[in-house]
Structure 1
Amino acid sequence: MFEKYPFEKLNELLKDVPHPEEVLSLTIGEPQFETPKFIQDSLCKNAKYLNKYPKTAGEEVLKEAQRGFVKRRYSIELKKDELLPSFGTRELLFNFPLFLRPKKTAFPNPFYQIYEGAAIAAGSEINYMELKKENDFKNRLSQLEGDEDFIILNTPNNPTASVMSLDELSEWVEYALKNDVVILSDECYSELYIDEKPPSILEAAINVGNKNFKNILAINSISKRSSAPGLRSGFIAGDSEILKRYLSFRTYVGCASPLPLQYAAAEAWSDDEHVEPFREKYRKNFEIAKEILGVEIPKATFYIWLEVGDDIEFTKEAYKRGVKVMPGRFMGRKGAGEGYVRIALVYDEERTKKALKIIKELL
């Protein structure tokens, strides 16, 4: 029913491969930099609220902070019923399709594994829309089969690091309106940009006159933005009619965030200055990658989608030399991702240089 998770497949692949004692793991999209102190201090200060049940709908202080982020970042003033906080975005990506019960779902291929797992759990047929060099690793309307009632987009993209433009996203919004299709845009890497800020599908909705975000939803997370994946703070924003019904569904799911986490997350969502040092670290890592590997610097994320030939053999050889990468085929279906590896540049400069020099020797 469910495919093995990519990391489980990777562990099986490498279990008998000899390797040095120290291995640099570039496989997981988990920031390795310390969470800012003001966020940690808020968590400690509010630990006393562990004696209270959190609301499914989230505390107003958190919702205000998240709407404030959207206003500052996208110049969009969301109404109160146009945003719901979540316990990270992984739970959203899994349980939203269970709520929606689509007959057919389309999403990028390769992809974040939860997209497929949720579709399977919801009993939905799947259209795997391949991301490849020929389409600049961006999904096009021509990839649709015409009978989908739910579409997931992912920009900035994991694993390929591609970024869709406002015009490209606007085409998808127009399609959703014309064909009464729900589109969910996963934008969790939106704040890890190099220079130009990536657009949101919410901006695209406004751009085509869909001011009420009909059929359009965006999700975002604090995990990458604030180097705080342990806070499990995300949100879903957009179509208020869908969100009202989804909130009722969430009451039964039991995924409300503990109050100390909500208060700390509110502090993080309300502050923009602490994010720039993280962006600068990733910029420097990309510059190192360009210098050592000769790759182009992507517009956002902290990933390199590196073409290597045989991704399985490359992964094993890299592991023998002390570097762990993710084979592209483990993140895709029907051959998508083969020939590539995903490299997460989540370490400091010194370890990044060491790992990339080993990869360079293998290319």
Structure 2
Amino acid sequence: MLNQRIEGLRDYPFRRLAELIAGATPASNRPPIDLSVGEPRHQPPGFVNELIASRSDSWNRYPPINGTPEFRAACAAWLTRRYRLPAGMIDAETMIAPCAGTREALYMAATVAINPDGGGPRPLALMPNPFYQVYVGAAVLAGAEPVFLAATKASNFLPDLDALTPETLDRTQIMYLCTPANPQGAVADFAYLERALLLARKHDFLLVADECYSEIYSTDTPPTGALEVAAALGGSLDNLMVCHTLSKRSSAPGLRSGFSAGSPQAIALLNRLRTYSCAATPFATMEAATALWRDEAHVDETRALYRAKFDIAERLLAGRFDFYRPQGGFYLWLNVGDGEAATRRLWAEGGVKVLPGAYLTKHGDGPNPSQGYIRIALVSDLASTEEALTRVAALL
């Protein structure tokens, strides 16, 4: 009677983490510091609260599923500025769909793209490995078979596109690509993204670019986006959907606001699906989100904070655990030999909660390629970050 596809999904990483450290109580003289979840703890700009309060008269109205014209226009204008797109390439009315953060958009993209009843072999969904769990859940529940593409140090922490066979590509209906990558922080350059989009168009699948960490980067040049490639190829968004969110960019995960951009056909289907399955973003939230997409000052300040935290990490950990300063994102991906053992020890003896890398990676009969790693999310304030990383350096 129940959906067997759901039962086939493995536990979410944080439930596995809770089981791993169950029974371990950190020493009381060391306040616990949780760096296991990618939940930014910086405060968003003060105008967010002011704008939400100013729209208190809107709570008795159902908001439109496709958002307000002002929100869509702000998102289209931000994409155009950020990725230096030709004027008019992104049509705010037909190419932008608001979503409750990227999670909702990433999940629904699979339902939009995958047709399990088209005849022939079961469709495939490609994704990097390590991966964001939503990619798998979305693929499986849409009726596709997940294909995990190794993204290890040997491939610069991105999937090797040249290793994909024509047979695999012909069965593919969706490919997820996260850049900057979670957890490794690798950034796909223009040539890589061009290769991915050309493959999507040649083999007619949807390339979904998860760019939720695009505004957190360590280099002087912002990460290339998939839309820049689309612009260079003529401006069409066919076979492409990009997903952005305010959770990381604006330190506002609780706002649950993001958007997808894609071809008019894909966005129309996404909005139709959301009509059946989602609650639309409230007017008050939408107005605050609109203001955030129009403002860059708070993003510059946030980026500077993350860079300061990576400075601390480099000072304390350079030369150990295969430490490197990632190009983007806010994670450390450290090779500590045994990720689960290190996680247990850091919590029990140091009160620092991290995530074993193996919990983010699918493996077959052989060893898990991320078994030796831990992921550390540098989401706390500067003082807590330095204290946590000092304990990591001392204990491991």
TM bracket (short chain): over 0.9
Deviation, 1:347, is 1.2
Q: Which residue of the partner structure matches residue 79 of structure 2?
A: 70
User: For 1:224, what is the secondary structure of its paired residue?
Assistant: helix
- 335, 345, 360: which is aligned to 2:378? 345
Q: Which residue of the partner structure matches residue 329 of structure 1?
A: 358
What is the number of residues matched between the two proteins? Answer: 362
Relative distance call for 1:100 and 1:174 in structure 2 (3 A) is closer
User: For 1:161, what is the secondary structure of its paired residue?
Assistant: coil
**Please, which runs of 5 or more residues in structure 1 have no aligned partner?**
none
Q: Which residue of the partner structure matches residue 97 of structure 1?
A: 110
Deviation, 1:116, is 0.7
Q: Which residue of the partner structure matches residue 307 of structure 1?
A: 335
Deviation, 1:255, is 2.8
Q: Which residue of the partner structure matches residue 148 of structure 1?
A: 172
Distance 1:308 1:92 in 2: 34
Runs of 4+ in 1 over 6 A off after TM superposition: none
Matches within 5 A, 1:106-117: 106-117=126-137
User: For 1:213, what is the secondary structure of its paired residue?
Assistant: coil
Answer whether contact 1:34 1:227 (CA < 8 A) is retained: yes
Structure 2 residue identity aligned to 1:338:
Q
Deviation, 1:53, is 0.2
Asked if 1:14 corresponds to 2:21, the answer is yes
Asked if 1:86 corresponds to 2:115, the answer is no
Answer whether contact 1:131 1:336 (CA < 8 A) is retained: no
Deviation, 1:95, is 2.1
Normalising by structure 1, report the TM-score: 0.97
Normalising by structure 2, report the TM-score: 0.89
- 116, 121, 128: which is aligned to 2:148? 128
Q: Which residue of the partner structure matches residue 201 of structure 2?
A: 177
Answer whether contact 1:86 1:255 (CA < 8 A) is retained: no
Distance 1:198 1:191 in 2: 8
Answer whether contact 2:357 2:374 (CA < 8 A) is retained: yes
Deviation, 1:96, is 2.2
Distance 1:122 1:4 in 2: 18
Answer whether contact 2:114 2:173 (CA < 8 A) is retained: no
Structure 1 residue identity aligned to 2:385:
T
- 218, 238, 241: which is aligned to 1:214? 238
- 213, 236, 239: which is aligned to 2:263? 239
Structure 1 residue identity aligned to 2:105:
L
Structure 1 residue identity aligned to 2:95:
E
% identity of equivalent residues: 35
Deviation, 1:120, is 1.4
Q: Which residue of the partner structure matches residue 260 of structure 1?
A: 284
Distance 1:37 1:341 in 2: 34
Distance 2:125 2:139 in 1: 7
Answer whether contact 1:308 1:339 (CA < 8 A) is retained: yes
Structure 1 residue identity aligned to 2:205:
V
Structure 2 residue identity aligned to 1:138:
L
User: Which deviates more from structure 2 when the two are superposed, residues 281-290 or residues 333-342?
Assistant: 333-342
Distance 2:255 2:317 in 1: 34
Deviation, 1:167, is 1.2
Asked if 1:189 corresponds to 2:189, the answer is no
User: For 2:337, what is the secondary structure of its paired residue?
Assistant: coil
| Cα distance per residue 1:1-23 (max 9 Å; x no partner) | 11101000000000122322421
Deviation, 1:50, is 0.8
Q: Which residue of the partner structure matches residue 223 of structure 2?
A: 198
Note the aligned Cα RMSD (angstroms). Answer: 1.3
